[in-house]
Amino acid sequence: MEDFNAATRKLLRSGNALVIEANVEANFSLFEHIVTDCIPEPQEGSPRGIVICSDDQTARSFSEFLEKPFKILDLTLDLIVEKGQRVRQRNDLFFGTELIVGTPKRICEMYFQNGFNIGELKLFMLLDLNTILKQGNKGFVNRLSESLPKCKKVVVETQEREKRVTEYIKSFMGGYKTIKEPKKLD
């Protein structure tokens, strides 16, 4: 597993777009390292990373997973999910954060309502693209990605890729590299 993590991080450092074929929950530590590689220290103001999850539970789990390492690094994180306090989430974003973790619909709503600045963005990550697209969230992802500055784009896929997903990834990411999680031996 360490070899997969190291190879993935090395691939991302060498380029700006990466597709990872892997289980989401089993690789939270890899995703944590990807985030902290792109956002190594705190800065004032605009978010420098957005992680879009397929559902509220995944977003909450990943946010909780990042709590301890972010505290050590003095980084801030805002959780933006459907079942949450909208006014509180909006206020949290207003005061600035390093990383936004949430669902496509709510992050998109907050982006257009609050107009948080994504000009400083270093990382745009989609956890479980297959599910995000199956849930009908393609439009929300498109609206956010149209405004992106030049930044690292990471897509995590959990299933065998369908042709329409391949076309979408090409249009969204341009040239990209792919790495596949090795199968576990029983």
Helices (H), the chain: 2-14, 28-38, 56-73, 86-94, 104-114, 129-134, 138-146, 163-173
- What band does 1 get if pLDDT is binned at 50, 70 and 90? low
SS3 13: helix
Predicted local distance difference test score (pLDDT) of residue 127? 95
This model's pTM is above 0.75: yes
**CATH code given to domain 2-180:** 3.40.50.300
Pick the residue with more confidence: 103 or 96? 103
Least confident of 5-9, 63-67, 157-161: 157-161
SS3 47: coil
Predicted local distance difference test score (pLDDT) of residue 162? 77
CA distance 25 to 137: 21
Query: Would you kindly state where each structural domain of the chain is located, as residue ranges?
Result: 2-180
Q: What integer best gives the mean pLDDT of the chain?
A: 88
Predicted local distance difference test score (pLDDT) of residue 129? 93
- What band does 171 get if pLDDT is binned at 50, 70 and 90? confident
- What band does 167 get if pLDDT is binned at 50, 70 and 90? confident
- Mean pLDDT of all residues in 32-40: 94
